[in-house]
Amino acid sequence: MKIAMIGTGYVGLVSGVCFSDFGHDVICVDKNPDKIAMLERGEVPIYEPGLDALIQKNVESGRLSFSTDLPAAVDGAEAVFIAVGTPTRRGDGHADLTYVMAAAEEIARALTGYAVVVTKSTVPVGTNRQVKQTIAKANPKAEFDVASNPEFLREGAAIEDFMKPDRVVVGVQNDRAAELMEEIYRPLYLREFPIITTDLESAEMIKYAANAFLATKITFINEIAALCERVGADIKQVSKGMGLDGRIGNKFLHAGPGYGGSCFPKDTKALARIGQDHAIPMQITETVIKVNDETRRRMTEKITDMMGGHLAGKTVAVLGVTFKPNTDDMREAPSLTIIPALIGAGARVRVVDPQGRREGEDLLPGVHWVEDAYKAAQNADALVILTEWNEFRALNLKRLAKKMATPALADLRNIYSARDAKRAGFVAYVSVGRTDYRAEGA
């Protein structure tokens, strides 16, 4: 089957590459000639483990190619996926559909035969019907159907998620479109992964509801963590006790500096706005957004309190700035709130991140980038763990403490324990939802 993937951002690139690995002929299209040239050279514009090798494999097989020529890619395609950005619109929280509708118009003019136009981007309920109207208006003679096929890819594990999904959601309006989508996903059908076929609106809502629920779990456990600190409970034990309940599950119950990334912040805001527009306020989701913002501020306060309330002239080493490990994505990362607050209070900030520097240099002006945690700790007054990269999970704490001017550790991902830190020589240790300590005179 010939597939055109419009957009080579995170979702479009991963999806297009994986479809080609299913055996389809895929052309990935992007308006940015520099990005296409990079891909044609075998270079990958995003960091995703295993993606570079999968691209090389399918390019060499002849099933995968890249182009800036949308009409040529759409010509003869049986399925055209829209995978362009839907950022939060300034001022009102809505998902900005400008790029989606622009892509729909271009696709309409390029259609040469029957095709299913599939929205892969995360879009508000009702968007696919708008896409259908836009295409029909731009090309009244076009023979097509629309489908909604939201993605559920975790950055850092996207290929595994695509190839072995919890479920695939497909929203359609008729059997013809459903059969074509079934053919696209045939390798997953054959391996009996769950494929859910719904109407358009239900497919659109599933995506928002799922992300809002996961964001709620993260925010809930962070609120419980704050209470644990006051009453003397241990959030790790509480999370474990909760997660063993099969009705709750243990995923997304890890206390930390709050959620970030390309999906949860944007999608919770969009869902809240959809509710407002339909006079059904999403009160839980609205509270989740508020509490997540407060959690980030609380992390800054924890660091400040650990350092005696004064940051001016102090050197703080920060380990990890991407919103999660195994990605270079800085979108809505907690570091973008916490680090500027530290700098604003007069601290000198050093940063270490295996993949974050490419985006981080522009987003975090005023920081000093170093190669590893031990260089960052040299004569530093505090060490802060913000992202739980594997290389930060097995640090030599004694070595770090000896290098520091004031060995103080803010472990905002609960990787270590107060006992570990104390034995290593740290005079102060703070975490999230657990007992901390600060030695007298520290």
CA nearest neighbour of 153 among 240, 51, 254? 51
Kindly give the interhelix angle for 200-231 and 235-243, rounded to the nearest 10 degrees: 140
Residues with catalytic function? 263
- Tokens for 323, please give them: 């919103």
Return d(Cα 40, Cα 78) in angstroms, integer.
24
Give yes or no for a contact between 238 and 435, defined as CB atoms under 8 angstroms apart: no
Return d(Cα 318, Cα 386) in angstroms, integer.
7
- Tokens for 231, please give them: 């009453």
Distance of CA 290 to the CA centre of its chain: 19
Distance of CA 89 to the CA centre of its chain: 18
Neighbour-count burial for 79-110, b at 16+ CB within 10 Å, e otherwise? bbbbbbbbebeeeebbbbbebbbebbebbbeb
Our CA dihedral for 268, 273, 275, 279, rounded to 10 degrees, sits at 160
Kindly give the interhelix angle for 264-277 and 200-231, rounded to the nearest 10 degrees: 110
Ordered DSSP codes for 33-45: HHHHHHHHTT--S
Helix (H, G, I), strand (E, B) or coil at 104: helix
CB within 8 Å of 255: residues ≥ 6 apart? 221, 222, 224, 225, 235, 236, 239, 414, 432, 433
Return d(Cα 408, Cα 411) in angstroms, integer.
10
CB within 8 Å of 245: residues ≥ 6 apart? none
Distance of CA 165 to the CA centre of its chain: 17
State the CB neighbour count (10 A cutoff) for residue 34.
9
Neighbour-count burial for 207-237, b at 16+ CB within 10 Å, e otherwise? bbebbbebbbbbbbbbbbbbebbeeebbbbe
